[in-house]
Amino acid sequence: MPANVLEINDLTRIFKIGGMVLGKKIVAVDKVDLKLPGDKPQIMSIVGESGSGKTTLAKMILRLLDPSSGNIVLGGVPLSVYGKGKNRKEFFKKVQPIFQNPFTSFSMRKTVDTYLYETAINLEIAANKQEALAVVKEVLRSVGLDLTNIAGKYPNQFSGGELQRISIARALIPKPSLIVADEPVAMIDASLRMNIVNLFRKLKDEYNVNFVYITHDLSTAYYVSDYIATMYRGQLIEFGDAKSILNKPSHPYTELLLDSIPRVGKKWDEGMTLPDWDAADSDGPGCKFAGRCKYSQDACRSSDPYMVNIESEHRVLCIKHNGFQSIHTGR
Q: What is the 3-state secondary structure (H, E, C) of 223-257?
A: HHCCEEEEEECCEEEEEEEHHHHHHCCCCHHHHHH
Domain harbouring 232, CATH code? 3.40.50.300
Residue 85 lies in a domain: no
237-to-198, 224, 259, 287, 290 alpha-carbon distances in Å: 27, 20, 17, 10, 13
Q: The dihedral of CA 218, 222, 223, 225: what is its sign?
A: positive
The phi and psi torsions of 326 (rounded to 5 degrees) equal -75, -15
Greatest extent of the chain over all pairs of C-alpha atoms, in Å? 69
pLDDT digits (tens, 9 = 90+) for 263-302: 545 444 444 444 444 444 456 688 999 888 888 888 888 8
Phi-psi region of 217 (alpha: psi -120 to 50; beta: other; left: phi over 0): beta
Residues 143 and 173 grouped into a single domain: yes
Domain end: 214, 247, 280, which one?
A: 247
- Per-residue pLDDT band for 215 (boundaries 50, 70, 90) equals very high
Residues 45 and 173 grouped into a single domain: yes
Mean pLDDT of 3-21: 88
Mean pLDDT of 129-138: 96
Domain end: 220, 247, 274, which one?
A: 247
Mean pLDDT of 144-151: 96
175-to-98, 134, 204, 317 alpha-carbon distances in Å: 14, 14, 11, 35
pLDDT of residue 61: 97
pLDDT of residue 192: 81
Residue 139 lies in a domain: yes
Count of structural domains within the chain:
2
Residue 159 lies in a domain: yes
229-to-45, 110, 145, 272, 287 alpha-carbon distances in Å: 6, 37, 32, 23, 18
Residues 208 and 291 grouped into a single domain: no
pLDDT over threshold 50, residue 256: yes
pLDDT of residue 203: 96
Residue 170 lies in a domain: yes
d(CA 42, CA 160): 26
pLDDT digits (tens, 9 = 90+) for 172-204: 999 999 999 999 988 888 778 888 999 999 999
Mean pLDDT of 98-107: 91
Residue 81 lies in a domain: no
Residues 215 and 271 grouped into a single domain: no
pLDDT of residue 317: 95
- Per-residue pLDDT band for 326 (boundaries 50, 70, 90) equals very low
Contact present, 45 and 106 (Cβ < 8 Å): no
Residue 253 lies in a domain: yes
Residues 147 and 241 grouped into a single domain: yes
Residue 178 lies in a domain: yes
Residues in the chain: 331
Residues 121 and 180 grouped into a single domain: yes
Which residues constitute the domain of residue 256? 249-331
Beta bridge partners of 11: 32
pLDDT of residue 189: 81
Residue 1 lies in a domain: no
- Per-residue pLDDT band for 324 (boundaries 50, 70, 90) equals low
pTM of the model: 0.89
- Per-residue pLDDT band for 86 (boundaries 50, 70, 90) equals confident
pLDDT of residue 71: 96
Domain end: 247, 282, 299, which one?
A: 247
Residues 107 and 232 grouped into a single domain: yes
Residues 162 and 269 grouped into a single domain: no
Between residues 2 and 265, the one the model is more confident about: 2
Residues 198 and 162 grouped into a single domain: yes
pLDDT over threshold 80, residue 323: no
d(CA 298, CA 290): 9
Nearest Cα residue to 38 out of 177, 143, 222:
177
Nearest Cα residue to 57 out of 222, 239, 217, 213:
213
pLDDT of residue 1: 63
Residues 129 and 241 grouped into a single domain: yes
- Per-residue pLDDT band for 164 (boundaries 50, 70, 90) equals very high
Residues 53 and 195 grouped into a single domain: yes
Residues 277 and 296 grouped into a single domain: yes
Average pLDDT, the chain: 87
For the chain, where are the E strands, in sequence order?
6-17, 24-36, 43-47, 69-74, 77-78, 95-98, 178-182, 210-215, 227-232, 235-241, 307-311, 314-317
Highest mean pLDDT among 1-10, 15-24, 232-241, 256-265: 232-241
3-state secondary structure of 35: strand
298-to-63, 192, 290, 306 alpha-carbon distances in Å: 40, 46, 9, 16
pLDDT of residue 191: 75
Exposure string of 62-76, with b = 16+ CB inside 10 Å and e = fewer, is: bbebebeebebbbee
